[in-house]
Structure 1
Amino acid sequence: MKKVILDLAVTLDGFIEGPNGEIDWCIMDDDMDFDGFLSTIDTIFYGRASYDAWGNFQPDMDVSQAEKMLWNEVHSKNKFVFSHQNRQDDKASFISSDIVNKVTEIKKQGEKDIWLYGGASLIKTFIQSNLIDIYRISIHPIALGNGKPLFEDLKERLELNLIKTNIFKSGVVQLIYEAKNKTTN
Structure 2
Amino acid sequence: MKKVILDLATTLDGFIEGPNGETDWCIMDDDMDFNGFLSGIDTIFYGRVSYDAWGNYQPEENTDPEEQKVWEEVHSKNKFVFSSQNREDENAVFISSDIVEKVSEIKKQGGKDIWLYGGASLIKTFIQNNLIDTYRISVHPVALGKGKPLFEDLKGRLNLKLIKTNVFRSGVVQLIYEPQTQS
Normalised by the size of structure 2, how large is the TM-score? 0.98
Shift of 1:97: 0.3
1:78-133: CA deviations, max 9, x gaps? 00000000000010000000000000000011220000000000000000010000
- Unaligned residue ranges in structure 2 (runs of 5+): none
* 1:33-182 matches, cutoff 5 A: 33-181=33-181
Partners of 2:61 and 2:87 lie apart in 1 by 30
Shift of 1:8: 0.1
* 1:1-40 matches, cutoff 5 A: 1-40=1-40
Shift of 1:181: 2.7
The alignment covers a number of residue pairs equal to 182
After the TM superposition, list the runs of 4 or more consecutive aligned residues in structure 1 that deviate by more than 6 angstroms: none
Equivalent AA in structure 1 for residue 77 of structure 2: K
Percent of aligned positions with the same letter in both sequences? Answer: 79
- Unaligned residue ranges in structure 1 (runs of 5+): none
Equivalent AA in structure 1 for residue 31 of structure 2: D
Partners of 2:53 and 2:88 lie apart in 1 by 17
Partners of 1:20 and 1:35 lie apart in 2 by 29
Q: For 2:89, what is the secondary structure of its paired residue?
A: coil
Partners of 2:126 and 2:41 lie apart in 1 by 18
